[in-house]
Amino acid sequence: MSLKGKFVLIFLIISLIPLLLGAGASYYHLKKIHQLFLSQTVSSLRDLGEILVEQKVEDIVRMLDFYIQTQVRKRPGEKINWDELQYDPVFIRIAVQTVGKTGYSSVQKIENGKISIFAHPNPKFIGIDINTFKKSNPDFWRIIKGPKPGERFSKGYYPWKEPNGRVENKFTVVMPVPDTPLTVAATIYTKEVEAPLKSFEKNLLSFQKQFLWQFLLGGAIIVILVIVIAILFALHLVKPILHLTDVAERISLGELNVPIEITSTDEIGDLADALRRMQASLRKAIQRLQRRQKI
């Protein structure tokens, strides 16, 4: 490899290694911040969704309790035929509501240790024995069976297989209606809660790609600039060396008066001075030899 090529290679290595290390570190930390931000945002969105669902359950329970006490139970201690409420449009309108865009509320009835669906947006589900989920979906069963003694409500996440075969994650809060065998459940799909995050994540990924392309473009420009600067520097440094090489070759051919056009004071200047001294010594030696031959 020529001296010029070595200079270009050294310049590239010295310039590109810090650039690559800096860009790699920046991209790594950007990606880590992205992941941390998404994780915290998911947690915040879920917390907000849980609070909204809990408030919805409390509102429905409060309205059902008020309706039962003022419109259904005519006298204190009067026995109520709960099954008749399934045909009460006002009760159903209070019990079954939408939660968010895709969520809903439902009512369960607990009787003799059996939990069945009492009111539901899908009439086909009414009367289904929920105890069958005890083994097939224990996470759902733990929530739907209601809160433990001393707790206001039970809540949690669980997987749910949709009619189309897809498995979706849901969040449900269950709260009992006071002095009744009824519990209210409010359910929401976690994908609805996290939906705003999808658009934001897409924008972050787009920003990462843009950063990567800008880095590649900037890196390419820097590489070109480094190569140009390295070539110019190498030419500036190598040119006097090539000139001295040419001078040395011409001196070896007998041209002792060839001019050395280098006046720098660096190491190359020292080499030029050494060649000048060599020229002078050779001229004197030849002159002495010529005088001896004449004698």
Judge if 151 and 102 occupy the same domain.
Answer: yes
What local confidence, expressed as pLDDT, does residue 41 receive? 65
d(CA 185, CA 227): 69
pLDDT confidence of residue 185: 96
Provide φ and ψ at 76, rounded to 5°. -60, 135
Q: Which pLDDT band, with edges at 50, 70 and 90, does 61 fall under?
A: very high
Domain residue limits at 254? 3-31+198-294
Looking at the structure, do residues 149 and 77 belong to the same domain, yes or no? yes
- 38 domain residue, yes or no: no
Residue-level pLDDT at 187: 93
Domain end, chosen from 130, 160, 193, is at: 193
Whether residue 17 has pLDDT greater than 80? no
With a pLDDT cut of 70, the percent of the chain lying above it is 86
Q: pLDDT value at position 263?
A: 75
Instruction: Check whether 96 has a pLDDT greater than 90.
Output: yes
pLDDT, residue 107, reads 96
Burial class of residue 106 in the structure, from the number of CB atoms within 10 Å of its CB (0-12 exposed, 13-18 middle, 19+ buried):
buried
Residue 108: which of 40, 181, 195, 196 has the closest Cα?
181
- Separation of alpha carbons 266 and 58, rounded Å: 88
Nearest to 59 by CA among 142, 191, 180, 153: 153
Between 231 and 63, name the one with better pLDDT: 63
pLDDT band at 231 (very low <50, low <70, confident <90, very high): confident
Distances (CA, A) of 287 to 156, 165, 282, 293, 295: 108, 107, 8, 10, 13
In this structure, the answer to whether residues 231 and 185 fall within a common structural domain is no
- Lookup: tokens for 290: 């010529």
pLDDT reading at 69 higher than 70: yes
What DSSP assignment string belongs to 94-143?
HHS-EETTTEEEEEEEEETTEEEEEE-SSGGGTT-BGGGHHHH-HHHHHH
105 with 75, same domain: the answer is yes
pLDDT of 182 higher than 90: yes
Instruction: Count CA atoms within 13 Å of residue 278 on its CB side.
Output: 18
pLDDT number for residue 240: 78
Query: How many domains are contained in the chain?
Result: 2
Indicate the burial class of 247 (C-beta count within 10 angstroms; 0-12, 13-18, 19 or more): buried
Least confident of 107-121, 192-206, 212-226, 237-251: 192-206
Rg (CA), the chain: 44
- Does residue 50 lie within any of the structural domains? no
Query: Residue 3's pLDDT band (boundaries 50, 70, 90)?
Result: low
- Assigned domain for 212 exists: yes
Q: Does residue 209 share a domain with residue 189?
A: no
Predicted pLDDT of residue 94: 95
Same domain, 220 and 241: yes
Same domain, residue pair 66 and 189: yes
Cα end-to-end distance, the chain, whole Å: 52
Q: What is the average per-residue pLDDT within 249-260?
A: 78
Is the pLDDT reported for residue 65 higher than 90?
yes
Query: Does residue 173 share a domain with residue 83?
Result: yes
Burial of 188 (0-12, 13-18, 19+ CB in 10 A): buried
Q: What is the mean pLDDT of the chain?
A: 82
Q: Is the pLDDT of residue 49 over 90?
A: no
At 111-169, the pLDDT tens digits run 888 999 999 999 889 999 999 898 899 999 999 999 988 899 999 999 998 888 889 99
| pLDDT value, residue 276 | 82
pLDDT (0 to 100) of residue 104: 94
User: According to the model, what pLDDT value does residue 267 have?
Assistant: 78
Identify whether residues 20 and 133 lie together within a single domain.
Answer: no
Per-residue confidence at 76, pLDDT binned at 50, 70, 90? low
Tokens at residue 26, please? Answer: 């920046």
The percentage of residues in the chain with a pLDDT greater than 90, rounded to a whole number, is 29
CATH number of the domain encompassing residue 103: 3.30.450.20
If asked whether residues 74 and 171 sit together in one domain, one would say yes
In contact, 246 and 259? CB cutoff 8 Å: no
H runs (alpha helix) in the chain: 3-67, 89-95, 133-136, 138-144, 190-193, 195-252, 267-294
pLDDT at res. 249: 82
